[in-house]
Amino acid sequence: MLTHISYAISIHETAKIAPMNIPAPRFSSPLPLRDGVKPSYLCLPHDVRYIGQPLLRFLCERFSFVDEVGWRARLNSGFVVAADGAVLSESASYRAGETIYYYREVSREDEPRIPFDEVILHVDEHLIVVDKPHFLPVIPSGRFLRETLLTRLRLRPELQHLNVADITPIHRLDKDTAGVMLLSHNRTTRGAYQSLFQSRAVTKVYEAIAPTRTDLNYPLRVASRMVRGEDFFLTQEVDGEPNAFTTIELIENRGAYSRYRLHPETGKKHQLRVHMMRLGMPLLNDGLYPVPTPMDVVDYDKPLKLLARRIEFVDPTTGENRWFESGLSL
């Protein structure tokens, strides 16, 4: 099944490249969830060109993908507000350092449904554990707003007894990768679970399908130094002290392609994909490595053959050894 997805840019993503050195607000948003999505915010930079000018001028010039008519409509909708909840209309003035809140807008046409469903594996007073399908982003970003794991979970009827606005991912999992994902819904204990990942106290096991190599001595430990690539969405290896480590096992020879078990010791972006590629074993159906394919074409019949199979850790609230395993297969 070949699906074409157009790319829609939002004020939220564009704001990330603006010269803003203001930290994210630490207080609650003045706007509630809408259709499972939290409002976004924008900290107005200290730009002398706009101080004392209409806020409308800044928005039209900085985010010109929305025309003036569109910005007037948004500002007069009542859903663009200051941190204190005051509604900002088209007559509002630009105030450097002010934080404004708004709802992102992505049309249904620009965001088709991802035709795969997440499965909730476990819920307790601290965690939600999910089996995430391929293609589904974890958080709203770029062209994805409603079709994300986070938004879907906030709308699940069986989770409405929780404070769904507090559901937050504890770790990363690329949209192209399927498998076990942990999320927190308890602010009090969230930091303890996040610290497990920061201190590498979590054992993660992945499985992948890649070209067969029987000439290597398994298990094989790969070490290299990874940095952001020339294209911001890629990772590349460079000379220097290693900062990324992966152990690779061959677990099933299927002929031209085989199934591998991957044990990452570190969590660099795209680490497993890059380490397999350097061995001449790029993951089957990888749309980024070794050569990126156009981002506006998605083939749902060819998911990246990478699965977060298992995650294991000592629970920081009980001291109990816990593990969760994906029910998906490659």
CB 179 within 8 A of CB 328: yes
The Cα-based distances of 230 to 7, 236, 237, 254, 289 in angstroms read 21, 8, 11, 35, 14
Q: What is the pLDDT of residues 189-211, one digit of tens each?
A: 999 999 999 999 999 999 999 99
Please give the Cα distance from 141 to 231 (Å, whole number): 18
Q: What is the pLDDT of residues 236-294, one digit of tens each?
A: 999 999 999 999 999 999 999 999 999 999 999 999 999 999 999 999 999 999 988 88
Instruction: Give the pair of three-digit tokens for residue 257.
Output: 């392609």
Q: What is the pLDDT of residues 29-50, one digit of tens each?
A: 898 888 898 888 999 999 999 9
Domains along the chain? Answer: 1-105 (3.10.290.10), 119-325 (3.30.2350.10)
Q: What is the pLDDT of residues 105-152, one digit of tens each?
A: 776 667 788 999 999 999 999 999 999 999 999 998 877 888 999 999
Mean pLDDT of the residues in the chain = 89
Inform me whether the pLDDT recorded for 65 exceeds 70: yes
Please give the Cα distance from 248 to 207 (Å, whole number): 10
Instruction: Give the pair of three-digit tokens for residue 71.
Output: 């910005």
